[in-house]
Amino acid sequence: EPLSAKQSSEIAALVDQARKMGGGGGANRREMEERHKRELRRWRSEELRFGLSVLARVCIKGPPTADSLRAFDLVWTASSSLSRNPNETLLLQALLLRLDAMKG
């Protein structure tokens, strides 16, 4: 929510500035929108990393076993792969399917 509000105010300021100067501000607006997409992606990746770090802590809670270490490794690998900008939904689905397969 705070990121969205910040981005909306930046766009409004750019539109207002372009209106005052008599231009459309098209190039600047495209650059700003691209920057906003990068900010949103970075924010989502940070949130996912945080969630995965919590999950990793749960995996290694208690005495380590082969299964808990394997689960930790799967979570760690998923977290590390976020730097390559994967499809986040597919990444999480694959992780959860692998973790679920370890149960049975």
pLDDT given at position 10: 79
Please tell me the distance from the alpha carbon of residue 55 to that of residue 8, in angstroms, as a whole number.
Answer: 33
pLDDT given at position 77: 96
Please tell me the distance from the alpha carbon of residue 14 to that of residue 5, in angstroms, as a whole number.
Answer: 14
Q: Which residue has the higher pLDDT, 35 or 74?
A: 74
Please tell me the distance from the alpha carbon of residue 79 to that of residue 88, in angstroms, as a whole number.
Answer: 10
Dump pLDDT digits (tens) for 14-68.
777 776 776 655 667 788 788 888 888 888 999 999 999 999 999 999 899 999 9
In three-state form (DSSP H/G/I as H, E/B as E, the rest C), the secondary structure along 58-85 is HHCCCCCCHHHHHHHHHHHHHHHHHHHC
pLDDT given at position 22: 67
At 9 the three-state DSSP class reads: helix
CA 16, 22, 25: angle at the middle one, nearest 5?
A: 60
- Judged against a pLDDT cut of 90, whether residue 73 lies above it is answered with yes
Asked if residues 71 and 102 have their Cβ atoms less than 8 Å apart, the reply is yes
Band (104; pLDDT cuts 50, 70, 90): low
Please tell me the distance from the alpha carbon of residue 31 to that of residue 34, in angstroms, as a whole number.
Answer: 5
Q: What is the pTM of this model?
A: 0.72
